[in-house]
Structures are given as C-alpha cells and as structure tokens.
Structure 1
Amino acid sequence: MTPVFSTSFFQTLQEMTHVSTESELFKHLKSAIHYLEFDYYAYGLCIASPVTRPTFTLRNNYPEQWQHRYEKNQYIHIDPTVAHGLQSTRPLAWSGQKKRSKKAFWQEAEAYGLKSGWAQSALLKPGATGMLTVATNDQSPLSQAKQLHLLSLSNTFQSVYGELVVPHKTTTHDVKLTKREKEILKWCADGKTSDEIAMILNVTKSTVSFHLANAVNKLGVCNKTAAAVKAIQYNLL
C-alpha cells in the first residue's frame, strides 16, 4: 500500500467525520472502500425493540439480483457474517479458502461476485447494533495492512452513523425518565408488584401507579413490564 494511497484513504475518513446527511456518509463510504480495492459494501442496523420483532434495515450496493435473492430467501437468518456480528464485535475476514460452513450460501454469493470480504459489528447506541461489511470479486487473502485500514474505516463510519442516523431511527433517543420513574422501573424489573414497591419506597400505591403511567407513556409501550424491558434495553436506568 503506497503512502499516496493511505493519504487519500485517511483524508476520506477525515471528511466522513464532518458529513451532515446519511447520503453524504454513504458516499464517503463508497469512496473509502474503493481506495481499499473493494467493490461492494453493506450496512445493516438492528433496533432491538420490540423484543419479539426487532427491526432490521439494510443498505448496500450489492448486485440487484443478489439483493433480491437475499431478501426473498431471508438469507439474513443463515448469513454467517450476520451470525458472527450478533455474537461478537471482533472483525471477521473471509475468503474462498476459509468458508467451511453454509457452503451453499457462500457458493451462491460467489456467483454474484462476493468472493471475499470483511465485516465488523458495533453497538452504536443502547438497543441499536450495526454491522459494516465489504466484499470483492477477488479471493486473495486480506493483508494485515488492509485489515488495519478496514478497522479504521469501521470505527469512523459506525461512530458517525451512530451519532448522525440512529437517533432518527429509534423512539427513545430523547426519553428522559425522572429519578422516581427509574427507581420504580428497577423494582418492576425485579418482579415487584405495585403494592410491594409502594411499601419499599414508603409511598402510596397511587403514587407508584402515577409514575409508572408516566414512564409507560414516555417509552411508548403498553404496560409496566414492557416499560422496564425497554428502559433496560436502552440503558435508561
């Protein structure tokens, strides 16, 4: 990797930190992966609420036919890179020689030009996890220098994405619980009833109900259990 190559790449990362729109951010991402000799990128975001129906969004420049097959066949549930990203924030590099599991999936991906790549997930905000993936038609193993550049790209891109984009995709970024609401929700999370919480805090049951109703309303849920779960998910307690 030449010094000029590195200079152009890191200049792009620097510019990335000053963008003001999601479109600008992805424009710089496309430039950055080009400098690193990758053809494709994908960025997935998982919002963990509601618990039984987490929200997944994906933005990428993969071949359209592969995008269609991926969505139609719900490959997100078998994609080894996604499975890895949900379990670990350690980077994952793959090439034709190293893909031992889900061979049918990898063979199909290779047919669309996704022969090797790199991925890393990150906790962007409480309750929001993102994963950056880059891929290429070249099966050559990634050099250590290129993987270090990818780490810099991932850290910069995901940090900016978390600050710029995620707050607009969640409903809790501006929720402010009072000290009493937090206190009561913590006891709810421990399985205490409203009567028990009233006794513990030496207040009336109606006072507990009042604060719970406020918390439920702020969090946009339907009951105290859901409020406690969501508050924990988003690190509000």
Structure 2
Amino acid sequence: MTRFAHAFTFEDFIDSTKRAATQDELFGILQSTLLNYGYDRVIFSIVRDIDLGPEYSQHGVLQNYPMEWHDYYMASGYREIDPVHAYVAQTSDVFAWDTLEEKLGGLTAKQKLCLSEAAEAGIRNGICAPTANTLAKLSGIAVATTEEKDAAHIDHDLLDAYARQFYKCFKRLALKDAPLPVRNITLSSREQQILRWLALGKTDEEIGGILSINIGTVRFHTQSLFKKLEVHNRPYAVLKAIRLGLLDPQISL
C-alpha cells in the first residue's frame, strides 16, 4: 500500500499539496488529512470544467469509495437522481447531506433510496464542499465515514478551504502536460524551414547558407515566426511550436 505525506494543519496541507507531483499523491494528501477529522471516505467529482478535457467530467475522478458501490451507483442511474448532485448545482456553500431534504424542499422516493443505499454501502455522515460553481465549471468534494459515528466532524469553513486548495492543485497537475488549445496558426514554407533549423540550433548565418538566402531574409522570417507564435526568442519559439503540434519534438534532439 502506498503511503502519502500526512498533512495535519492547514499550513501543512498547503505546503504538501503544492509539492504533489501526481494526482494520486495529491489525493493521498487529502485523504490522510481528512482522516484526522474522522472521514475515511472521499470523492472528487467534476460535472463540467472548460479548462479540462471531457475525460475529467465524471463522477469520482478521484475517490476511495467502495468500487461495488460506485458501479452500482452508475448502473442505477443515481448520478441523475442523487440529491447531493442536485444541490451542489445550486450552492457554493459546504453542506451536510442530512440537511438536503430541508434545502431542496423535500426529496423524492428515489433520492431517499439513493442516500439510504449509500449508507448501507458504508457512505455515511456525508458532507459536500463545492469547489467550483459557475456556468463554465461545476465540481465538488464529498467526505463520509464508513461507520455510523458521531466523532467525525470538521468545520465547514475549514473543509471549504481544504477543498478549494485541492482543486487548485489538481488543476495545476491536470493542465501541466495538457496540449495547448489548437490555434489557427499557419506557417509559410519558409517559416517552417527556418523553424526546423532553429530547433537544430543553427545560427542566422548557418540557416542563410543552408537555404541560400541572406541573413536579413532569415531574420525577417524569424521575426514573422515569433509574431505568429507570440514569443520573443528562439527557445520559446521551438517549445511553443512543439506544444502546438507545429514541430516534431524529435527534431530538436
């Protein structure tokens, strides 16, 4: 079993999450921190987030809920019925699941069944902390306990702070290796040639000799290339061209 850094104070949590190198490590820090408050079940879900790819829009992006429950939940269509999902779309405040009937003005029989069966599966004493609630972004973290107990407790403002710090760091990791949005950048054949030789470390003089053009022409096309890529030097031009798919990354090796 993998062991993660054990963050206890909020300051420790911030430091640990900032240093997290993977999503699993980040989630492990969240789990170990919330365990201090008696919550051994955690789930992070994204309904929508325009900054992330569609593969992230799912119930339980990261979670330690029982897999049997997760599979049953999805097969039963509970994602569309779940009163937690219904209310998280209406609020930015942390809320306890046992207040949902009051907050929603009543629950349907299917919604009550969803919560009842969750408790039977070991998802009890639930609290949800929305991490984003806008037209473009909707996500949240829920915590719960396996056993029915009164000892589990966390201040709602503190849980909100933990959840938002987690979400911020999760997005940093999720976007770190993501490709830049496709942009309509068209390079001329001469700009493509010069970009290739820039990636191979050639000087203006060397590029001019290779392409049989004068240095002024090389510099003219180089500046045009910089303008299109919105960069100011060669290394960034090469890096951005690779990230935009305009240059084979192997060519600069």
TM-score class, shorter: 0.5 to 0.7
1:128: how far off?
3.8
Q: 1 CA distance for matches of 2:177 and 2:47?
A: 13
Of the three residues 146, 150, 158, the one matched with 1:140 is: 150
Of the three residues 105, 125, 132, the one matched with 1:123 is: 132
Aligned to 1:14: 15
1:159 and 2:168 aligned: yes
1:127: how far off?
3.3
Cα RMSD, aligned residues only: 3.4
| SS class of match (1:46) | strand
Structure 2: 5+ residue stretches without partners? 1-6, 186-253
Q: 1 CA distance for matches of 2:134 and 2:26?
A: 18
Aligned to 1:40: 41
| SS class of match (2:122) | coil
Runs ≥4 residues deviating over 4 A? 96-100, 166-169, 175-178
Larger radius of gyration: 2
Aligned to 1:60: 63
Q: Which amino acid counterpart does residue 29 of structure 1 have in structure 2?
A: L
Cα 1:115–1:31 change in 2 (3 A) is same
Q: Deviations over 1:122-143 (max 9, x none)?
A: 3399834321111113353975
Structure 1: 5+ residue stretches without partners? 1-6, 179-237
Preserved CA contact (<8 Å) 2:43 2:143: yes
Q: Which amino acid counterpart does residue 95 of structure 2 have in structure 1?
A: L
1:85: how far off?
1.7
Aligned to 1:150: 159
Aligned to 1:28: 29
1:104 and 2:113 aligned: yes
Q: 1 CA distance for matches of 2:152 and 2:38?
A: 11
1:113 and 2:122 aligned: yes
| SS class of match (2:89) | helix
1:72: how far off?
0.9
Q: 1 CA distance for matches of 2:184 and 2:93?
A: 33
Q: 2 CA distance for matches of 1:166 and 1:74?
A: 30
1:89 and 2:92 aligned: yes
Q: 1 CA distance for matches of 2:40 and 2:115?
A: 17
1:98: how far off?
6.2
Cα 1:39–1:98 change in 2 (3 A) is farther
Preserved CA contact (<8 Å) 1:122 1:130: yes
TM-score normalised to the size of structure 1?
A: 0.58
1:149: how far off?
2.5
Q: 2 CA distance for matches of 1:166 and 1:92?
A: 29
TM-score normalised to the size of structure 2?
A: 0.55
Q: Which amino acid counterpart does residue 93 of structure 1 have in structure 2?
A: A
Aligned to 1:218: none
Q: Deviations over 1:133-174 (max 9, x none)?
A: 11113353975x5323212211211111122215667x7x54
Of the three residues 53, 67, 72, the one matched with 1:69 is: 72
Q: 2 CA distance for matches of 1:84 and 1:56?
A: 18
Cα 1:125–1:80 change in 2 (3 A) is closer
Aligned to 1:182: none
Same amino acid, percent of matched pairs? 20
Cα 1:23–1:142 change in 2 (3 A) is closer
Preserved CA contact (<8 Å) 1:128 1:166: no
1:69: how far off?
0.5
Preserved CA contact (<8 Å) 1:109 1:115: yes
Q: Which amino acid counterpart does residue 32 of structure 1 have in structure 2?
A: T
The count of corresponding residues between Structure 1 and Structure 2 is 166
Preserved CA contact (<8 Å) 1:29 1:157: yes
